[in-house]
Structure formats: C-alpha cells, structure tokens
Amino acid sequence: MKTPTISLLSGLLFGAGLAYSGMANPARVQSFLDLFGQWDPTLAFVMAGAMVPMAIAWVFQKRMAQPLACDTFDLPGTSLLDSKLVLGAVLFGIGWGIGGLCPGPAVADLGIAPLKAGIFVLAMLAGMTIHRITSR
C-alpha cells in the first residue's frame, strides 16, 4: 500500500471515531469542560478508549527497527518542558473552551457542517500563520 493511502485510512478511521463518539459535536465537548453545569464525561471515555490501541502500539514500536511502510520513525522528543509548551497549552485550552472545538473535530466537521467548521478552520489556520510569522 502506498504511504498516502495508509495515511488516508488513518484519517478516515480517526474522523469516523470522532463522529461516532459524539466528539464531533462542539456542544458535547463544551459540556465535558463544563464541570459546574450538566457535566458530560463522555470525552474521558473517548480518551480512555484511544489509549488502549496506542499503548499497545508503543510497545511494538520500541521493538521495531523501522515502520511497516517506510524507512524511519520520525517522532518528537518527550522530555523538554519549556515556556512555549506551557503557554501554548494554556492558550489552546482557552480557545478549546470558548468554541468547544479542537483541531481534530474541527477538520472532521468539514464533512458534516462545512460552513461553521470552515469558519473555525480558516480562523485556526490564520492563528497558525500568525504563530509562524511571529516566531521567525
């Protein structure tokens, strides 16, 4: 299988999982973040479910010299804690709370509610571009 085909399959399953779990719905994600309202813990179950295949995958990854369909693993470091990580996470959490959307559901929602999701994704891309320009 060609590598973009595998990537497409990964994206398909990811988008399907988001939609099936209810996490493509910004109102449900916001309900998860709303501890003082009618709290909806579903997102915690989604995270727990996603951990299972990935925890197993990391066990295999450690024993593999290379990925199945390409030459090398290209993985980020795991230990650096700096102010960028902290400030970035704080900001991301604020935006996530305001809209009920993080990047995965936002991009997935382009297939369900293209107008609203499109506005969010365009704004998100603008935010990413601002980061790129200002961090040069």
Partner 1 sequence: MTLPGFPMASPVEGLIGGLLIGLAAAIMLLGLGRIAGVSGMTARATGIADTGAPRALAIAFVIGLPLGALIVNALSGGVGTIFPESTLQIVVAGLIVGYGTRLGSGCTSGHGVCGMSRLSKRSIVATAIFMASGFATVAVMRLLGYFG
Q: How far apart are CA 117 and CA 74, in angstroms?
A: 30
Site for partner 1 in 105-134 (CB under 8 A): 106-113, 116-117, 119-132
Query: Which CB contacts under 8 angstroms, 24+ apart, belong to 68-75?
Result: 69/1, 69/3, 69/6, 70/3
Q: How far is the CB of 32 from partner 1 (least distance, A)?
A: 8
* Contact call for residue 65 and partner 1 (CB under 8 A): no
* Contact call for residue 136 and partner 1 (CB under 8 A): no
Site for partner 1 in 19-58 (CB under 8 A): 19-28, 30-31, 33-58
* Contact call for residue 77 and partner 1 (CB under 8 A): yes
Q: How far apart are CA 18 and CA 128, in angstroms?
A: 23
